[in-house]
Chain A
Amino acid sequence: MATDKELSDFLKSVEKRAFKRTAFAVRDDDAALDIVQDAMIRLAEKYIDRPAAELPLLFQRILSNATMDWFRRQKVRNALVHNFSDFEGGDEDGDFDLLETLDTVESSIGTESAADSVSRDQILLLIDTEVAQLPARQREAFLLRYWEELDVAETASVMGCSEGSVKTHCSRAVHALAKALKAKGIAP
């Protein structure tokens, strides 16, 4: 059973990421705060008897469900379905060089030399904007996998899809981000 301190420390460690992830999804800071608060309370009330090690995955599931509940309440599911259909289409980047882009962008944001043309804050803001523009499922998969550091199986569990879908979403998200960042000049 998680202690008060363990619960508090855990929530403190994830609250800002949770808020940001939810804000990306609902595009409304107030709604995102409400959803995060709701998820925190649900976790505390219903899963306080679980070991502290189980809290991260439980919280991500609860947060995802709470976000979906919000969408249902807002009756904007059609918009979501529209977003989901975004990655049903074919790959438009047939001539896109993954290795080159990943290498250049990764090295660009991995070093302070990127600040030669754009300040670090601007880069952060740019990344924030590009992540926000990803299709919902791609963004969710990307954030769960690389930000929340869940493995593929855990991400699939939270998202309610197959592991193959998670890999596809993540791959497309990475491609889209790399291409967008490169187009914005974040390259050596």
Chain B
Amino acid sequence: MNNNTPLIHSTDVDALQARFGMRVASLLGEQAQQAPSDISERLRVAREQAVERGRMARRQTRLATASAPIVLGRGGAASLAERPGWWVKLASAMPLAMLVCGLLVIDHLHEQAQIKATADVDAALLSDDLPPTAYSDPGFAEYLKATAQQ
């Protein structure tokens, strides 16, 4: 350090550096503004392309935002469908269950009717004066046929 140089505070050095830096940068800026026309043109094209991309990105963001309620609506509908899902499934299963129950009831009634008819026949046979074995007799069968023809 030069002995003739007065002592200076570090903030003064910082200020000097800043002044110098800003001045050099200012001149550098002038130099940069004198860029060749082809570079300026390419920068302009790049800028326009970037702005266009930004416009597209913004449009997509808006579309996403606008479609968000629809998605929510769908989600809501889905959630509504899911929440009573058990009821919907139960309701859709009810006709099938009723059909099965109906078939079982019809089967049961049909079976009861068959049992009743058989019981009536058996009761008639057993309560008749004619013994049941008579129907296996060929002579009695021929008698019945003849009676029916008359």
Contact = CB atoms under 8 A, between A and B. Distances in A.
B18 interface: yes
Given A1-B58, A16-B33, A33-B43, A131 B28 contact: yes
Given A43-B50, A100-B2, A19 B43 contact: yes
Given A7-B54, A95-B2, A145 B21 contact: yes
Contacts of B22: 146
22 contacts: A4-B54, A15-B46, A19-B39, A20-B31, A20-B32, A20-B35, A36-B43, A36-B46, A37-B49, A40-B50, A41-B53, A44-B54, A46-B57, A97-B5, A100-B5, A106-B23, A147-B25, A147-B28, A171-B17, A174-B17, A174-B20, A174-B21
Given A124-B30, A146-B22, A146-B25, A45 B53 contact: yes
B57 A45 contact: yes
A100 B21 CA distance: 15
Contacts of A37: 42, 46, 49-50
Contacts of A49: 58, 61
B146 interface: no
Contacts of A33: 39, 42-43, 46
Interface string A168-188: 001101100110000000000
Contacts of A178: 20
A106 B20 contact: yes
A183 to B, nearest CB: 15
Given A20-B32, A147-B25, A174-B17, A99 B8 contact: yes
Interface in B20-65: 20-25, 27-35, 39-40, 42-43, 46-51, 53-55, 57-58, 61
B1 interface: yes
B19 interface: yes
Contact of A131 (B24, B49, B61): B24
Contact-residue size bin, chain B (C-beta under 8 Å from the other chain): 35 or more
Contacts of A45: 53-54, 57
Given A124-B27, A174-B20, A48 B5 contact: no
Contacts, number: 136
A26 interface: no
A119 interface: no
Main secondary structure of the interface of B (DSSP, over half): helix
A125 interface: yes
A90 interface: no
B29 A17 contact: yes
B16 interface: yes
B53 A170 contact: no
Contacts of B27: 109, 123-124, 127
A97 B2 contact: yes
A177 B20 CA distance: 9
A16 B35 contact: yes
B13 interface: yes
A11 interface: yes
